[in-house]
Chain A
Amino acid sequence: MKKLIMFFIGTLLLLLTFVALYFSGALFDASNDRKIQAFVFQPNNLSNDRIGRPVSVDQLSEKFVREKLIRKFVFEYFYVTPDIENIAIRTRGDSVMAAMSGPDVFKEWKKDQAEKIENLAGKKSFRTVNVTDEILKKGDYWEVNYELKTWDEPNNMDLNPTIEKGTLYLKISFEKGIRDQRAGSSFDVGEYLKEGGDPASIFKFRVDEVRS
């Protein structure tokens, strides 16, 4: 009888080992975390919004990233949408503008530009920003020529935009790589992007001075 019990216990142990093996295999599969990269076929002519071809590693130089970030900064500096909530979000301490500019620049922008943008948004105006020429370095500053197109009135299809041209001189600090800190505390890039954060905030880029 005792031997029979021992035999059953042994069989049970063997079964348990197989179950453990099965679970560890399942865990191993789960740890691989295979994801299907979906390919979305767009039958419509959405070429404006279609994602372009990825930039090659050779092209993705420090100069390329810096130039893109300067363009992004100038865009954030001037653009207007007919939505008052948009400017409220942009003036917050955790906004892209705050992440891309030094404290003085952000303070000055809030004083000079944010109010103008808020007025335009209140009037339901719309403004696009375009950097027109190549961005060149002149001394300590980067020279950025821009063009602003402003539609002062909504829902008027006969209205042409007012075009305004100008130049900004930006003193920037930029290092290659991704931020590991933001506002003095540690910064988890993965989590930030998963939550829908703007990718422009993750680079070690800051505008320290703006002159016009």
Chain B
Amino acid sequence: MDYPGNFDIPVNPAGKRIAVSRVMAIWTLVAFLLAIFLCGILLWSANSERLEPFMISADNNSGEWKIVGRNSDALEYSATRTMQESVVGNFVKNWFKISSDNSENENVWKVCERNSCISDDNLTFGNRTCAIYCNSGEDLYSKFSYSIMPDYQQRVQKGETWDLDEKTLSIIPMGKITENGGTWQVNGTITSSTSGSFEIKAFLKIARNKNLYNQSMGFYVADINSYRISE
């Protein structure tokens, strides 16, 4: 049977027109389905052809291997992570600083009331009063006052000063950095007035206590271990 060409029955003269519109409707439906199918194929083929190359950076000094240039998410840092980095940066600048003016040193190294760490005066830019105490845990501060400060005081007496060159400072996270802290590695160069410049490496553990360290969203330095790398 020639459908819809020969569908003209006398009883219903509009039969052919109905048949033609039916055929057209069916073909339109087929065309729609085909278009949707082609869209799917297009998507699939575009995806399947994509290569995902990765670049590995192998650090000969630290032995660390990492993926570079691919992970664009890594450029988005959370506020908590940035704050930890800031605490680390500011802390090492004060920890590795010995000034020729002893009153300035005493001002940085002394103990304050915890509440005064968040007073307006102490939070002004460039104020370094109690900078070590206000950003470290009790254990770390007692380590500082019993074993580090006597050494620093001896150096001051001998006329030695220390300056951490901020241009050489690099702060790298070690392992996972969470909302509650993490471990950070710091590399930098200290310029000593008596023994010249030397490289250092330090590992800082950041912890969080929102009640005591409001000035830094609760982050403080729980431990620091540093080493003189170059002669």
Contact = CB atoms under 8 A, between A and B. Distances in A.
Interface stretch (B9-17, B35-43, B119-127, B211-219): B35-43
A30 to B, nearest CB: 9
Interface in A25-61: 27-28, 31-33, 35-38, 40, 44-46, 48-49, 51-52, 54
Given A52-B57, A190-B52, A159 B228 contact: yes
Chain A binding surface, main DSSP class: loop
Interface stretch (B66-74, B110-118, B129-137): B66-74
Given A46-B170, A49-B187, A200-B65, A36 B72 contact: yes
Contact of A126 (B61, B75, B225, B231): B225
Interface in B72-129: 72, 75
A37 B65 CA distance: 20
B51 to A, nearest CB: 11
B119 to A, nearest CB: 30
Contact of B63 (A27, A32, A129, A154): A129
B20 interface: no
B46 A31 contact: yes
A48 B176 CA distance: 22
Among B50, B69, B205, find the residue whose CB has the most chain A CB atoms closer than 10 A. B69
Size range of the interface on A? Answer: 35 or more
A49 B59 CA distance: 8
Contacts of B187: 48-49
A211 B70 CA distance: 38
A204 interface: no
Chain B binding surface, main DSSP class: strand
Given A51-B57, A54-B55, A155-B225, A24 B66 contact: no
A17 B34 CA distance: 13
Contact of A193 (B54, B69, B148, B166): B54
Given A38-B75, A76-B63, A200-B65, A154 B226 contact: yes
A126 B61 CA distance: 14
A138 interface: no
B176 to A, nearest CB: 8
Interface in A5-30: 17, 20, 24, 27-28
A8 B212 CA distance: 69
B168 interface: yes
Contacts of A83: 174, 183, 203, 205
Contact of B46 (A28, A37, A194): A28
B93 to A, nearest CB: 14
Interface in B198-226: 198, 200-201, 203, 205, 224-226
Contact of A24 (B39, B72, B183): B39
A198 interface: yes
B156 interface: no
A82 to B, nearest CB: 4
Interface in A182-206: 190, 193-194, 196, 198-200
A141 interface: no
A190 B51 CA distance: 11
A151 interface: yes
B71 A81 contact: no
B168 A45 contact: yes
A24 B43 CA distance: 9
A198 B174 CA distance: 13
A68 interface: yes
Contact of A82 (B50, B168, B225, B228): B225
Nearest to B54: A193
A198 B167 contact: no
B58 A27 contact: no
The 8 closest A-B pairs by CB, nearest first: A75-B63, A154-B225, A82-B225, A24-B39, A31-B46, A151-B227, A199-B56, A157-B228
15 contacts: A24-B35, A44-B166, A49-B59, A49-B170, A49-B172, A54-B55, A68-B58, A71-B63, A81-B174, A83-B203, A86-B183, A126-B203, A154-B227, A158-B228, A198-B66
